[in-house]
Amino acid sequence: MTAPRRTRLDPDARRAQLVELGVRALSRASLYDVNLDEIAAAAGISRSLLFHYFGSKRRFQLAVVQAAAAGLLQGTDPDPALPADRQLRASIEDSVDYVSSRRDLYLSLVRGAASGDSAMQAIFDRTRSALVDRIMGGIAELGGDPDDPLLPIAVRSWLAFTEEAIISWTPGGPVPRERLTEFLESSFYRAVLA
């Protein structure tokens, strides 16, 4: 196999390329197992140049996790023109598809947050808060009281429940995707709006 041809990129484009390669690597390995030499080689640069752009392995990892979190939010963002109940359903369907097709990537995000690393935890918390805010934006239309201080806690808890259910689910297994989706949707109404 020949080495990738070296191409000059401006610093922002090079950083974006390296982060994208890091996100792709997360689909095959945990965050801490991503090989920086392989990332640099795939970009056609030296490992030292990768460090030039990010300063350290940890900063590179944080940039990759931030990009993965942004991808999750973008990949599960429903059409705002839909009614709130359809937005909820679409977001659940998209979450099932996103997490099941990128299980290792998603687990890296979750496990990075559970590692005790405060910066990783902050990325995870911002992502979870954005998902809570998305749901709370339509909570009145869904039948909830937006002024109830318990509702954001209930939504956050339901998201954790949903995350575990999707991670535990096996595509092509005994539980069809549609049944899982219906289960998660009904659990929202039972647990959050009960």
- Residue whose pair of structure tokens reads 């429940």 in the numeric block: 161
Q: At what angle do helices 84-101 and 177-191 cross, to 10 degrees?
A: 130
CA distances from 117 to 62, 74, 149 (A): 10, 24, 29
Q: Does a structural domain hold residue 67?
A: no
Give the phi and the psi of residue 4 in degrees, each rounded to 5: -60, 145
Q: Rounded to two decimals, what is the model's pTM?
A: 0.84
Q: Does a structural domain hold residue 165?
A: yes
> Which residues constitute the domain of residue 47?
11-62
* Domain harbouring 178, CATH code: 1.10.357.10
pLDDT digits (tens), the chain, 194 positions: 455 555 678 888 999 999 999 988 887 777 778 889 999 999 999 999 999 999 998 899 899 989 988 998 999 999 999 999 999 999 999 999 988 888 877 777 776 666 677 888 899 899 999 999 999 999 999 999 999 999 999 999 999 999 999 989 999 899 999 999 999 999 999 999 98
Q: Does a structural domain hold residue 124?
A: yes
Per the structure, the count of domains in the chain is: 2
The conformation of residue 45, written as its DSSP 8-state character, comes to S
Locate 190 and state its tokens. Answer: 């039972």
Q: What is the CA radius of gyration of the chain?
A: 19
User: Same domain for 87 and 183?
Assistant: yes
